[in-house]
Structure 1
Amino acid sequence: MYAVQRVEQAISEEEYLATERQQQDKHEWYQGESFAMAGGSRWHNLLSTRILSALVPHLEGTPCTPYMADLRLYIETHHHYVYPDILVVCDEIAYIAEDMVNDAAVIFEILSPGTESYDRGRKFLHYQSLPSLREYVLISQTIMQVEVYRRKQDGKWEYERLTEPTAQLRLTALDYVMTLEHLYRDMPIKRSGGKWEA
């Protein structure tokens, strides 16, 4: 996700929503604290754009629509407002406002040094409470690595780590496949000591 910075001022949920709709800068909110979102790197934006540009035509004519980081997600169970890098919404009932949803089928986060532990930890824990979430995808912008968490029918999550150019990112919820070679094309990533890295 984009880097976040704590705003040292307590703010209520109602104040947060009112303020957020009147300003251009985006903030996440949790437990009375607002967190400003900083801009992403060149490679962060490239990866996000590449995923979105692939999903838009693929999902045309289906109930599913992909969005970039401007659509707010309300995680109701935890009273947590976030802006995923990309989320795919497949159910009309999820739209609770023009600028907000409360559920998603697939969520992508592009990992950044300052937010990686958050994306892997509390944020993923909270995402798991979304009833329709089927896949959570973590994409590295510094090494060739994509991690996918898939919710199985029994509610448990299975993990897959992809690191090779020919590896296929399979989004079963969307019936879509993309190779890592395609995802990372033209990025300064090379193979070094058996590991793909920038």
Structure 2
Amino acid sequence: MPNPVNRYTYRDYLQWDDGERWELIHGVPYNMSPAPSRIHQKVLGEIFGEFRDYLKDKSCEVYLAPFDVRLPSQDQADDTDNVVQPDISIICDPDKLDHKGCNGNPDLIVEVLSPSTAKHDRLRKFTLYEENGVQEYWIVDISNETVEVLSLNQGQYERVNVYGNEDEDEDEITSQLFDSFSLDLQTVFE
């Protein structure tokens, strides 16, 4: 198990075999335990299924956690200190995929908030994804039944929309990256 006061790299991360899920952000380890709730997994499955069906005959691929996404800076091509496991990752550049996962920024990431990860997803991962050029970031809040869609514009995230309670007229969640994709909000939170 890593010591949270030390800085670690992907090489270190590969050595940890304590049965727990970890992420590294700027070399700092974050424990991703406990396992997600049943509702978290149900919502995640609905969103994943819709993207999987939509992308079936397209060049992009969709992956569920646990799936390592390595986000190296320019000087860390071989041993990054950023390794995350987004709930859903969509990658449209096959050159970023290898037997270990994804080496580089996914095009779209979805994170389903849990009480134990909400701050991590909204702050640390938000900043990491923005810094690394993830074009679209969805934050799914189960407790409020909302989906916040953020799109990268000139290196910074802009809120496209928050679908859910506060915007009852919007029943279809749409993506800035995939024009013809839409997801029924009611289906997500059934």
Shorter-chain TM-score tier: 0.7 to 0.9
2:13 is matched with 17
2:39 aligned with 1:35: no
- C-alpha distance in structure 1 between counterparts of 2:98 and 2:52, whole Å: 22
Find the partner of 2:189 among 174, 184, 189. 184
Unaligned runs of 5+ in 1: 186-198
TM-fit CA distance, 1:96? 4.6
TM-fit CA distance, 1:52? 0.8
Root-mean-square deviation over aligned CA pairs: 2.5
TM-fit CA distance, 1:15? 4.4
Shift >6 Å, 4+ stretches: none
TM-fit CA distance, 1:162? 1.4
Q: Is the 8 A contact 2:174 2:182 kept in 1?
A: yes
Match of 1:19, SS state, is coil
- C-alpha distance in structure 1 between counterparts of 2:14 and 2:189, whole Å: 39
Match of 1:84, SS state, is coil
Give runs of aligned pairs for residues 64-143 of structure 1, distance below 5 A: 64-77=60-73, 79-131=81-133, 133-143=134-144
Pair 1:67–1:171, CA change in 2 (3 A): same
- C-alpha distance in structure 2 between counterparts of 1:67 and 1:31, whole Å: 23
Moved more, 160-169 or 112-121: 160-169
Please give the TM-score of this superposition, normalised by the length of structure 1: 0.78
1:193 is matched with none
1:157 is matched with 157
Query: What is the percentage of aligned positions where both structures have the same residue?
Result: 22
Q: Is the 8 A contact 2:113 2:142 kept in 1?
A: yes
Structure 1, residues 24-45: CA drift from partner, whole Å, max 9, x if none? 5321123444322210011110
1:173 is matched with 177
TM-fit CA distance, 1:113? 1.9
Q: Is the 8 A contact 2:130 2:155 kept in 1?
A: no
TM-fit CA distance, 1:183? 1.1
Pair 1:23–1:168, CA change in 2 (3 A): same
Unaligned runs of 5+ in 2: 74-79
1:192 is matched with none
Moved more, 118-127 or 11-20: 11-20
Q: Is the 8 A contact 1:71 1:101 kept in 2?
A: no
Q: Is the 8 A contact 1:135 1:148 kept in 2?
A: yes
1:59 is matched with 55
- C-alpha distance in structure 2 between counterparts of 1:8 and 1:101, whole Å: 24
